């Protein structure tokens, strides 16, 4: 792993530990999870009462769950995965190639990994393509609370159907999916067709895996960030 590429988290004591109380840790981005793990080890070596130790360890586990689960990839690896993801997307529906061609711009995240226990972290890397040409590299990340266990992987494609929507995305300083940047997630209805009104939205989202489109998928709250590749 290239130390300059990863966006992981570091935890360290705010103060020195004593024998009578545990001191909280603060977390921020660094290159390796070893820092967070060393903080947990420091707690383990400290002689404090059991409840405080448990609380501190739980805080450290939360920090670890915030860390992206995948190692950052090279441009070539991302490009290869994007090609495969687009081919799989085209096979899902005969209209998909036309939707990609007509879009002002397309975000393609070929492998978004989600995992954790109760507190789930989601992370993936991809590209922004305009008229089929890659113009930049981006990451997508989010965290959610719910009944989550283990890890799963899927692909995410975001279509900017209007030039205005694409321009607002490109010129934003950190772009999060929310009320101002809502994405209409596409899933086929009982008739096997897309909702025609939804297709007219300025930003469309498709979340899919090997079995097809994920009907209950959501990327609400996800943050999309330009990468320095």
Domain count, the chain: 2
Q: Which two tokens stand for residue 37?
A: 């793990």
In this structure, are 101 and 194 located in the same domain? yes
Cα separation, 129 vs 104, in Å, equals 9
Same domain, yes or no, for 34 and 141?
A: no
Q: Look up residue 55 and give its two tokens.
A: 């609380």
Contact 135, 128 (CB under 8 A): yes
Helices then strands, each counted (H, E), the chain: 5, 9
pLDDT of residue 43: 43
114 domain residue, yes or no: yes
DSSP one-letter string for 115-154: EEEEEEEEEEEEEEEETTEEEEEEEEEEEEEEEEEEEEEE
Residue 2 lies in a domain: no
Residues ≥6 apart with Cβ < 8 Å to 86:
100, 108
Q: What CA–CA distance (Å, rounded) separates 123 from 139? A: 7
**What's the confidence (pLDDT) of residue 225?**
93
Give the bridge partners for 208, in sequence order: 155, 213
User: Cα 155–156–160 angle (5° rounding)?
Assistant: 155
What are the pLDDT digits (tens) for 93-110? 999 999 999 999 999 999
123 and 156, same domain (yes or no):
yes
Average pLDDT on 168-188 reads: 83
Q: Which residues contact 215 (CB under 8 A, 6 or more apart)?
A: 187, 188
Give a yes or no: residue 55 inside a domain: yes
* 14/123 same-domain check: no
> 201 with 113, same domain?
yes
Enter the pTM of the model: 0.68
Domain that includes residue 52, residue range: 8-66
Q: CA of 105: how far to CAs of 92, 118, 125, 153, 203, in Å?
A: 20, 35, 17, 24, 10
Are 220 and 129 in the same domain? yes
pLDDT exceeds 70 at position 31 = no
136 falls within a domain: yes
Lowest mean pLDDT across 22-26, 36-40, 92-96, 206-210: 22-26
Give the chain's mean pLDDT.
74
Task: Please say if the pLDDT value at position 147 is more than 60.
Answer: no
DSSP H or E segment with residue 167: helix 163-170
Question: pLDDT grade, residue 152 (50/70/90)?
Answer: confident
- Pair 148, 49 in one domain: no
Does 190 or 9 have the greater pLDDT score? 190
Q: What is the mean pLDDT of residues 38-64?
A: 51
The average pLDDT across 186-191 equals: 67
CB 60 within 8 A of CB 44: no
Helical spans, DSSP H, in 11-122: 34-45, 50-66, 75-92, 96-102
Domain assignment of residue 3, yes or no: no
Of 79-83, 114-118, 122-126, 151-155, minimum mean pLDDT range:
114-118
CB 136 within 8 A of CB 116: no
Looking from the CA of 26 toward its CB, the CA atoms found within 13 Å total 4
Q: Are residues 90 and 181 in the same domain?
A: yes
């Amino acid at each position: 792993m290239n130390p300059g590429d990863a966006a992981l988290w570091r935890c360290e004591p705010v103060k020195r530990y004593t024998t009578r109380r545990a001191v909280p840790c603060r977390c921020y981005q660094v290159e390796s999870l070893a820092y967070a793990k060393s903080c947990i080890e420091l707690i383990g070596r400290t002689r404090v009462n059991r409840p405080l130790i448990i609380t501190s360890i739980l805080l450290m586990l939360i920090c670890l769950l915030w860390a992206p689960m995948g190692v950052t990839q090279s441009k070539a690896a991302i490009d290869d995965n994007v090609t495969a993801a687009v081919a799989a997307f085209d096979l899902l529906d005969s209209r998909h190639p036309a939707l990609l061609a007509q879009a002002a711009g397309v975000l393609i995240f070929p492998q978004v990994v989600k995992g954790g226990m109760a507190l789930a972290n989601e992370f993936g890397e991809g590209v922004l393509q305009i008229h089929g040409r890659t113009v930049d590299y981006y990451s997508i990340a989010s965290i959610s609370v719910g009944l989550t266990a283990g890890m799963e992987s899927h692909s995410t494609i975001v279509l900017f159907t209007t030039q205005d929507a694409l321009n607002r995305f490109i010129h934003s300083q950190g772009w999060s999916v929310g009320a101002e940047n809502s994405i209409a997630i596409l899933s086929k209805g009982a008739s096997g067709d897309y909702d025609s009104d939804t297709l007219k939205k300025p930003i469309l989202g498709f979340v899919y895996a090997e079995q097809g489109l994920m009907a209950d998928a959501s990327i609400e709250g996800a943050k999309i960030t330009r990468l320095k590749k």
